[in-house]
Structure 1
Amino acid sequence: MQGGPLNQGADLVRFSGGGPVDRRLCPHTARRVRPPARRRRPLPADQGAPALPSLRPGMTPRRKGGPPRLSRVARPGRRTVTARRLSENGVPASSAHLSWLPGLSSGRTTLVSAVLGRRVPMKPLEPSDPRTIGGIEVHGRLGEGGMGVVYFGVTPDAEQVAVKVIRDDLAGQVAIRERFDREVLALGMVHGPRVAGLVAAAEPGADRPWLAMEYVRGETLREYLAVRPALTAEMGAALGVLLAEALTDIHAVRVLHRDLKPGNIVLGSDGPKVIDFGLVALEDAGDDLTRTGTRLGTPVFMPPEQVESAKDLTPAADVYAAGVTLLYALTKHYPYAHKNEHALYYAIMNPDNEPDLSGLPASLAPVVEAMLAHAPESRPAPAEASAEFRRVLDAAGLSVNDARTHFATLTYVERPDDPPSDIEPPKRPARSRHRERSVPRPVVASLADRLAVAYAPGPRL
C-alpha cells in the first residue's frame, strides 16, 4: 500500500501499548497510522544481557518521561490494576494485583480492600457505617445477617476483632435485646483457648448494642471439609479432645451453646475455636426467649430434647451436637438424613431409629455412638468423652499436645479473604497530665464483672 508522506509537523501521541502513533489518517483506510515497530538487533553470541545500571539503596529505576506506568487490565465485575513490583536489585520481578470488589464508585483504596498480591473480598464501609465503635477503628464489613452487621476492626492495642452490631430497628425489641445481652454475658464469662474470647462490648442499655470478639483466622470446619477428605481416626480423636475442652470451659460457667456445628468451629493456627454464642442459654435463668414448642438451633445437629423444645436443656445437648460434628468430620454424613424437615425431626425423636454410623472408624465408634444416645442421661460428660479420645491417641503413640499441633498444622489454611495482619492500630488520644491513674484490669474480666451484675439471673431472663 502506498500513501503520501507523513507531515513533519504531525502531532504524535504515545500509547501504553507501543510506540508513537501519528494522528494523521491513512488516505486509503481512514485509520490512524502506526509506524512499523523497529526490530531489535540481536546481541552477538559472545555478549550476554546488557548490564543493569548500579542502584544505590532506596533508588528505583525510572523510565524516560515519568514514573513507572501502571497498565490497566479489564476484568468483568472487578476493577483491577496491575502494578509492577521491583525485586531487591530494582529489576521488574513480577506482576501483582490490587483488586476491588464490584460496586465501588471511587478509585480510592484502603489498607483492607487493596492488598498487594492477594484478593480481599471484604465489603467496603458504606457511607452510613460507623468508622469507630467504642474506640475500635472499623476497616470493613465481614458480613451481614438478619440481626445486624459484623465489621472488621482494630483496637488501640492492635488486636484484630470482629465487631457485631445489632440493627437499629431490632435494638428496641425486648426479645432480641435480651438474646444479645445473653451472648455478651456468656462470652464475658467463658474463658479458654478453645473459645473465641470477648474483647469489648457496649454498656448495658446502650442505644445500639455491639460486641467485639477476637478475630480468628482460618477456615471453619465446614469449609475445610467441603473441599478435603474426611479426617483420619487420629485427627478425629484430636478434634474430639479439643471440642471436649471447649465444652468443659463453656459448661464450667453454667452456659450452654445450643448451636455447636462445623460452621461454628474455626480452625485457627493453634487449633479449633468455638464461635457464635447467639443461641446461648444460661442454666440458672428462666428462659423467656424459648417457650415450649419453640425450636432454636440447626436441625441436623439438634438432640431429641432440643427438637421437642429449646427449654430446660442440659449440657448433654451440646455433647450430642459435638457427636454429630465428629461423625460428619469422620464420615462426611449426618446421623439422620432426610430432605423433609418434619421427617428429620421425626427420625431424631424416634428412639427406635438408630443413627447412621457407617464409615466411622472402629476405634471411635463406641464413644461417638454414646455421644449420640437418645436419652440425655446416657451420654458421656465432656471429660468422659475426652478420656476415650485420649485412649485412641495413646494407642497411636500421640500425646495430646502433639496431636493438637499436628491437627493445627493439617487444618489451618490461610484464607485469601482474611484481612491483612499488619494493620496499624488507631492512635490513642493524648492523656491529660493531671488525670488520675487507675489500676489496669483485664478487659474481659472487668466486662464480665459489670455484666454479671447488670444481667444477673432473675425473672427478666
Structure 2
Amino acid sequence: MSQVELFRNQSSAYTIDDHITGDDGQTYIVGDRIAAGGNAVVHECNEKLSGDNYAVKFQLELRHRRRERFQREVELLRGFDDPHIIRFVAAGTVAGLRTERVRRGGRPVAQRRGVGEELPFVILMKASEDLGKHAKTPQKIPPATYLAQFLGLSKALVKVNEKALHRDIKPENILVVGSAWAISDFGLCDLHEGGPDLSRVDERIGPALWMSPEAFNKNLGCSDAIGQTSEVFQLASVFWYATCGRHPTGIVRNTDWRGPPELFPIMERALLHDNLNRFQTSAEFSEALEAVIIR
C-alpha cells in the first residue's frame, strides 16, 4: 500500500493510503487527481477486483458545516436513479495524514507529522469531461445530440427539484458520462424537507458566472427568494451556451439564437429577468421543451 497526496500548500500537505474501502464493502485504489476546488478534490480510482474505473471525491474543507453539507450531498445522490444525474457508487471515510513544515528563520527546516481528521469521500461514475470543455471542441455539437440531452437534463432537474434546489447549475457541473450529460455536484443543495439551509447568511449562493438575477440580487443583500424559476434560468443558460457557444447575457433576441427556431420562444421565456414571467417550475419548463422537441 502506498500514499496519495490530496492537498499541498506552503505550510502543509495531506496524504492518505491509496486503498480505501467504501460502504459497499469493496476496495478501491486511488489514482491521479482529476480536478480540485476550494472544498474538495477528485481523483480517479479503480475497484480492486474488477478494475472498473470510477471517480472519487474527497471533502477536504470540514469547517463551516461543510461536513454536514457533504453528507447531505451523499444522501441525495443515493436516492437518484437517472442517466442524467451522476450515478452514486459508494461512500465512506479515510484517515488523512497531515504533514506540516516547521520554519526557523523564515525557512522550512523540518517536518512534523500528525494524523488529521477522517476525510469523507464519495465514489461516482467517472465522466470523460464537463460540458464547459465539451462545448469548446472544434466540432459543434449537432442538434440531434444536444436536443436529446436538453430534454433528459430537464427531466432530471424535475427529479432533483422534487427533493431539493440544486442552486449551482453551470457547464462545469454538467458531466459527460458515456453518451449522457449528467447533473453533478450537489454541495450547495437546499432540501425542501429534512434539515435547514446549511449555507452561511453571508455566503454567496450560486455559480458565479451563471447565477439567475434573483441569486445575484440575494447576494447584493436584496430579499429575493431562490426557487425553481432560478433553476430554470440557470439550466436554460447552460443550454444556450451549449447551442451558441456564448453566455445569454442581456436581452436575448431570436437573431442571437443558433439553434432550432421553434426552441427560441422557450429559451427566451426561461431567461427573462423577472422570475414571475418565467416558467414557474422545472416540470413546466421540461414539458414545454418536450412539446417542441418530440412533436
Residue aligning to 1:392: 292
What CA deviation, in whole Å up to 9, does each residue of 1:33-78 have, x standing for no partner? xxxxxxxxxxxxxxxxxxxxxxxxxxxxxxxxxxxxxxxxxxxxxx
For residues 364 and 269 of structure 1, the distance between their equivalents in structure 2, rounded to whole angstroms, comes to: 26
Which structure dedicates a bigger proportion of its chain to strand? Answer: 2
Report the residue type matching 1:376 in the other structure. Answer: N
Residue aligning to 2:34: 142
1:375 aligns with 2:274: yes
User: Cα distance 1:383–1:193, how it changes in 2: closer, same or farther (>3 A)?
Assistant: same
Q: TM-score of the superposition, structure 2-length normalised?
A: 0.73
Instruction: Name which of 223, 246, 251 aligns with 1:333.
Output: 246
What CA deviation, in whole Å up to 9, does each residue of 1:428-455 have, x standing for no partner? xxxxxxxxxxxxxxxxxxxxxxxxxxxx
Give the 3-state SS of the residue equivalent to 1:213 in structure 2: strand
1:269 aligns with 2:200: no
Q: Please report how far the alpha carbon of residue 272 of structure 1 lies from its aligned counterpart in structure 2 after TM superposition.
A: 1.0
Give the 3-state SS of the residue equivalent to 1:367 in structure 2: helix
Q: Give RMSD over aligned pairs.
A: 2.9
Instruction: Name which of 171, 188, 201 aligns with 2:78.
Output: 188
Map 1:81-96 to 2 at 5 A.
none
The answer for unaligned runs of 5 or more in structure 1 is 1-109, 111-123, 337-352, 396-461
- 1:165–1:208 Cα contact (<8 Å) kept: no
1:244 aligns with 2:136: no
For residues 265 and 391 of structure 1, the distance between their equivalents in structure 2, rounded to whole angstroms, comes to: 23
The answer for unaligned runs of 5 or more in structure 2 is 6-13, 22-26, 97-116
- 2:87–2:125 Cα contact (<8 Å) kept: no
Residue aligning to 1:437: none
Report the residue type matching 2:44 in the other structure. Answer: F
Report the residue type matching 1:247 in the other structure. Answer: L
Map 1:6-85 to 2 at 5 A.
none
Report the residue type matching 1:382 in the other structure. Answer: S
Q: Please report how far the alpha carbon of residue 219 of structure 1 lies from its aligned counterpart in structure 2 after TM superposition.
A: 2.6
Report the residue type matching 1:130 in the other structure. Answer: D
User: Cα distance 1:197–1:354, how it changes in 2: closer, same or farther (>3 A)?
Assistant: same
- 1:166–1:209 Cα contact (<8 Å) kept: yes
Q: Please report how far the alpha carbon of residue 243 of structure 1 lies from its aligned counterpart in structure 2 after TM superposition.
A: 1.2
The sequence identity of aligned pairs, in percent, is 25
Report the residue type matching 1:325 in the other structure. Answer: V
Which has the greater radius of gyration?
Answer: 1
Map 1:351-366 to 2 at 5 A.
354-355=251-252, 358-361=256-259, 362-366=261-265
- 2:244–2:258 Cα contact (<8 Å) kept: yes
- 1:220–1:267 Cα contact (<8 Å) kept: yes
Q: TM-score of the superposition, structure 1-length normalised?
A: 0.49
Count of aligned pairs between the two proteins: 250
Q: Please report how far the alpha carbon of residue 233 of structure 1 lies from its aligned counterpart in structure 2 after TM superposition.
A: 4.4
What CA deviation, in whole Å up to 9, does each residue of 1:315-366 have, x standing for no partner? 2221111100111111111121xxxxxxxxxxxxxxxx63466134321111
